[in-house]
Structure 1
Amino acid sequence: MHQVASQLPAEAVASQTRPLLVLENLGKRFGSLQALQDVSLDFRVGEVQCLLGENGAGKSTLCNLIFGVYRPDDGLMRFAGREWVPAGPAEALDSGIAMVHQHFSLVPRMTVVENLMLGQSRGLLQHRAFAAKIRSIAESFGFSLDPEAVVGELSVGERQRAEIVKCLMREPRLLVLDEPTAVLPPDEIGSLLDICRRVADSGRAVILVTHKLAEIAKVADRVAVLRGGRVVAKAEMATADMGALVRAMVGREVKSLDVALSESGAASAPPVSAGDAPRPRALVCDGITVKDRHDAVRLDNFTLEIRAGEIVGLAGVEGNGQSELGMVLAGLQRPAAGRFFIGETELTEAGPAAVTAAGGGIVPEDRHAVACVTAMSVAENMYLNKLDRFTRFGLLRRNALNQAARGLMQEFDVRAAGADVAFSGLSGGNQQKAVLARELTLDPLVALVAAQPTRGLDINAVEAVYRQIRAAARRGVGVLLISSELDELIAVADRIVVLYRGRLVGERPAEPGERAAIGALMSGHGL
């Protein structure tokens, strides 16, 4: 029992021996796809229970059953001793279950405080008091969150923090977090895990879905592993074998990323020696400067050259200009100054279609906002920039489109009931793999800009994504890899540049021995 628990009333401590939520033989189908089958688990107050599993294993489906988004087809649930069949998320919230989703639910044009005030119908709402409460909760995480900031102008990490604060304001009995750390930089993940621990110790239950084993080791009391919609392993963390959990999750032995990539032969292009002719330029950024609506500089004189076949990692804590750079290179935002080229083509004033036509593949950090149309099918999204290949007399040849998409789905391991199902029905990881498949198969592909490409992906998928990226580099594609996952950058990139407060502050070789130096630059030390 943790120390905080000893401060609870006797009846609260006693209740920690009873499960708050019980699932018995739970099953859920989507058409012919059996998403969950015979899932039996319990979740206890005072505990953090983690759910492990590959993308598409059923973790998000399970969370959505608990939260009332879906209804089970088989089995039953009991919450607080009573049968639990919620009519929807509103009933779940009223009953004391809150959920932080993978995908954002905030209104982009509204401020943080306006978003968090939505749906709060108890009494007269005071803007100033609400804003103060937001600041207070954010400070307990160890980060700042401006209640007056417009959500659409926040980075992905800042928007996720707002979602977490929104959830915690309801003081839930059961807190469900579906991949909450996927968008957080390393120095903030520990703060979030501390909050999970404190929420559990205060007499609540916490369900945490994550792919990061280090997080599980730090915070979990128990862990359950899903594979193919079934529970294949359960363990008490005090005695758990982490290797066995990983094997249960993926069904095989897993090597480290750098070893797996080297054994696959998907190495990046060899370094150019002094006697070699220089490879052509794939991507050039020349003094790019971006300002926000308040005229504050968010990206300052960003200058970088990437050659064909080279992978350059861009490291930095989120919110330091990466999002703005990605928007400029995608043709979605005009810089205040500077210019950029793909190959020899200047695209500073061009739009997304021109970037694609010039050979620019873009994998944005927020796939829902700018990378896909969730109401369209998987096939339509995977060929969104090449649908003209499947039209005849102005009509879309769906059979041909679906057949081509099935081939891409197999190549990139995109798991879905079919190519014609709605893109919104895919798990977050499978959506990401579909976007990657579309961008990596551009013809021509001169430069790839990949922002947080493995966010929300499991171990197998991370390995597959980087294998595909390094294979593209071998074909002569220049790659800008933007990630807050420093270990991944070191394993994949040829060199790493660091962005801090909108400025490039240094460049280091992508070698394990440089990790401390790169980390220092990311935090602003040693400048």
Structure 2
Amino acid sequence: MTPPTTSPPTDAGTLAVELHGITKRFPGVVANHDIDITVRRGTVHALVGENGAGKSTLMKILYGMQKPDEGTITLDGEQVSLSSPADAISRGIGMVHQHFMLADNLTVLENVVLGAEKLHGIGGGARRKILEISQAYHLNVRPDVLVEELGVADRQRVEILKVLYRGARTLILDEPTAVLVPQEVDALFDNLRELKAEGLTVIFISHKLGEVLSVADDITVIRRGTTVASVHPSETSPKQLAELMVGSELPTPETRESTVTDTAMLRVVDLNLSATDSDGVCRTVLDGIGFTIHKGEVLGVAGVEGNGQAELVEAIMGIRDPDGGEIVLDTDDISHAPTRTRRESGIGYIPEDRHRHALLLESPLWENRMLGHVTEKPNSGRFLLNLKGARQDTERIVREYDVRTPGIEVTAASLSGGNQQKLIVGREMSHRPKLLIAAHPTRGVDVGAQAQIWDQIREARREGLAVLLISADLDELIGLSDTLRVMYRGRLVADADPATITPEELGSAMTGAASGHLEHHPESPESVQDDEHVQDDEHVQGNEAPEDGESR
């Protein structure tokens, strides 16, 4: 069936989506129970709730990926049955997933038309349609650029254009701001307002309640699988929304007391790493990286994704072998040591992508508890695995870290993203690491899980844990960090005092607009420069990163 084209603006009072009495059961758990949601045409409708509340299951039902056990779906006044995403697309529903579904080695045009070749062909007609949609909604998409050359914000716009190209009139956006800096969030919200002005409908799933209140026209709150409230943004606050979601106040990552000692736990000296891209070209991805993290210190690294943070983590973990430089843990040079040795020496690791690097999704929770720590207690004795010990400790982690699960025998895939993350954090903290590498530790988790993870990091920090924190959540970076550094194009280009820097100033530095020591100047315009030509003004005090080991 050919997807309908985008409809003209319609009255915001008409209903685009009506979900009544939606119930979905899985073995051992009821994901959705008697959910009722009505979404007005031409509005941004936010869906909020803690991890495991049932948001993802509900959206999978609306997108045809799951069939409800009970309840009805009505689209534009017509009751429908959706058996697949193709059915949903044909009815004007499009979904942009939190993890982008783009092929890096293809151009934007090729990604957009893939699977929809019959609509406008694969040549001039497709290009004209892409440019027409891009111009209509101010998406600024370039059809002939390879996706691997795009930043996160541009990739997200491609995903939005892809669903519009297929005729979507209702867009489901799952955690669309999770990896964006403040300036990119503002640009995305401008795009959403353009979509709304043209009569399109957006269902916006997010855990960032301040953003929800700034962009949404209506908000539905889900808790424990059912709807508990429908509110208007003007009638509520982040604090009240948090209480509706999890029954507690909105947490803050703010850390007041300093626990930084003089004892160095991790020293990275002049670290260099090169990599070969898809065209066979060798490029530098880490260029002279140097820093020191002390016991009791959280070093936060800010940067737009793709500027070397992932490669830095992989070099410290032993996944990549550096071309030069030193990595010293405590007093041991681990520059070229195997990953297992580094793990046994006391490095805890919360990976950026939990599905690819932290979990075996089709294995039970107790097996996942052993990952990365197979040679350590309680998972093994001197020579053999201790399966009983692993199971018992998994039960403890589930209990202490509030992992919502029917039991430890269920697969990791059956847990919500936030509960998967709590299991990972519990596993890593259970081995009392000397150094914790935390890459986006609260990405995609609700405010309750956020508070638990922050508390665990703060508590371990008080006991002397050194933490390398990489996050796209700038409030989290500023709130948890003792020292802040900015990474841009493989170099540490700037540092800042977490006590004075604002998210907007930090976000500006992440895009390459400033370097050196970032000072807070509330009444002065921000200086703008690139990473090669440094302007001499009051905001920029040199283009060299601070000396190795220097803390602010």
Same fold at TM > 0.5: yes
Residue aligning to 1:482: 470
2:394 maps to amino acid = A
> Any conservation in 2 of the 1:53–1:225 contact (CA below 8 Å)?
yes
Distance 1:331 1:231, change over 3 A: same
Residue aligning to 2:96: 100
Distance 1:515 1:69, change over 3 A: closer
How far 1:479 sits from its partner (Å)? Answer: 0.7
How far 1:358 sits from its partner (Å)? Answer: 2.5
How far 1:521 sits from its partner (Å)? Answer: 3.1
1:489 maps to amino acid = L
Paired residue for 1:522, among 510, 516, 529? 510
Residue aligning to 2:482: 494
Paired residue for 2:496, among 501, 508, 517? 508
Distance 1:519 1:189, change over 3 A: closer
Distance 1:399 1:137, change over 3 A: farther
Distance 1:141 1:452, change over 3 A: farther
Residue aligning to 1:5: none
> Any conservation in 1 of the 2:251–2:447 contact (CA below 8 Å)?
no
Secondary structure of the structure 2 residue equivalent to 1:13: coil
Q: Distance in 2 between matches of 1:61 and 1:421?
A: 17
Residue aligning to 1:411: 400
Task: Please give the residue correspondences for 1:359-370 in structure 2 after superposition, counting only pairs within 5 Å.
Answer: 359-370=346-357
Residue aligning to 1:17: 13
> Any conservation in 2 of the 1:380–1:387 contact (CA below 8 Å)?
no
1:329 maps to amino acid = I
Aligned residues: 503
Residue aligning to 2:282: 295
2:348 maps to amino acid = G
Residue aligning to 1:442: 431
Residue aligning to 2:270: 286
How far 1:158 sits from its partner (Å)? Answer: 6.4
Deviation digits for residues 241-268 of structure 1 (CA, Å, limit 9, x no counterpart): 443222111212335332xx66xxxx56
Distance 1:320 1:21, change over 3 A: same
Q: Distance in 2 between matches of 1:421 and 1:502?
A: 40
Residue aligning to 1:193: 189
1:416 maps to amino acid = T
How far 1:59 sits from its partner (Å)? Answer: 1.0
Secondary structure of the structure 1 residue equivalent to 2:116: coil
Q: Distance in 1 between matches of 2:100 and 2:334?
A: 30
Paired residue for 1:458, among 417, 433, 446? 446
Does residue 307 of structure 2 align to residue 320 of structure 1?
yes
Paired residue for 1:232, among 194, 207, 228? 228
Distance 1:366 1:519, change over 3 A: same
Q: Distance in 1 between matches of 2:498 and 2:88?
A: 47
Tell me how large the CA RMSD over aligned residues is. Answer: 3.1
Secondary structure of the structure 2 residue equivalent to 1:414: coil
Residue aligning to 2:367: 380
Secondary structure of the structure 2 residue equivalent to 1:70: coil
Residue aligning to 1:423: 412
> Any conservation in 1 of the 2:179–2:473 contact (CA below 8 Å)?
no
How far 1:318 sits from its partner (Å)? Answer: 2.7
Residue aligning to 1:4: none
Deviation digits for residues 456-496 of structure 1 (CA, Å, limit 9, x no counterpart): 12222222111111222223221111123222222211111
Deviation digits for residues 139-177 of structure 1 (CA, Å, limit 9, x no counterpart): 8666777865465x8776665555444333323011111
Distance 1:460 1:13, change over 3 A: same
TM-score, length basis structure 1: 0.85
Q: Distance in 1 between matches of 2:428 and 2:127?
A: 41
Secondary structure of the structure 2 residue equivalent to 1:122: helix
1:287 maps to amino acid = L
Q: Distance in 1 between matches of 2:177 and 2:41?
A: 22
1:328 maps to amino acid = A
1:377 maps to amino acid = P
Distance 1:397 1:495, change over 3 A: closer
Q: Distance in 2 between matches of 1:145 and 1:341?
A: 44
2:207 maps to amino acid = H
Q: Distance in 2 between matches of 1:368 and 1:182?
A: 16
Q: Distance in 2 between matches of 1:147 and 1:332?
A: 33
1:425 maps to amino acid = S
Residue aligning to 1:182: 178
> Any conservation in 2 of the 1:141–1:192 contact (CA below 8 Å)?
no
Q: Distance in 2 between matches of 1:143 and 1:447?
A: 42
How far 1:357 sits from its partner (Å)? Answer: 2.3
Please identify, of 413-422 and 206-215, the stretch whose mean Cα deviation from structure 2 is larger: 413-422
Secondary structure of the structure 2 residue equivalent to 1:231: strand
> Any conservation in 1 of the 2:48–2:205 contact (CA below 8 Å)?
yes
How far 1:434 sits from its partner (Å)? Answer: 1.9
1:422 maps to amino acid = T
Q: Distance in 2 between matches of 1:137 and 1:282?
A: 49
Residue identity over aligned pairs, in percent, reads 36
Deviation digits for residues 214-263 of structure 1 (CA, Å, limit 9, x no counterpart): 211221110011111111111122333443222111212335332xx66x
> Any conservation in 2 of the 1:285–1:304 contact (CA below 8 Å)?
yes
The structure whose residues are more often helix, as a share, is 1
Paired residue for 1:331, among 311, 314, 318? 318
Secondary structure of the structure 2 residue equivalent to 1:188: helix
The runs of 5 or more residues in structure 2 that have no matched partner are 1-6, 515-538, 541-552
> Any conservation in 2 of the 1:48–1:222 contact (CA below 8 Å)?
yes
> Any conservation in 1 of the 2:153–2:184 contact (CA below 8 Å)?
no
How far 1:407 sits from its partner (Å)? Answer: 1.1
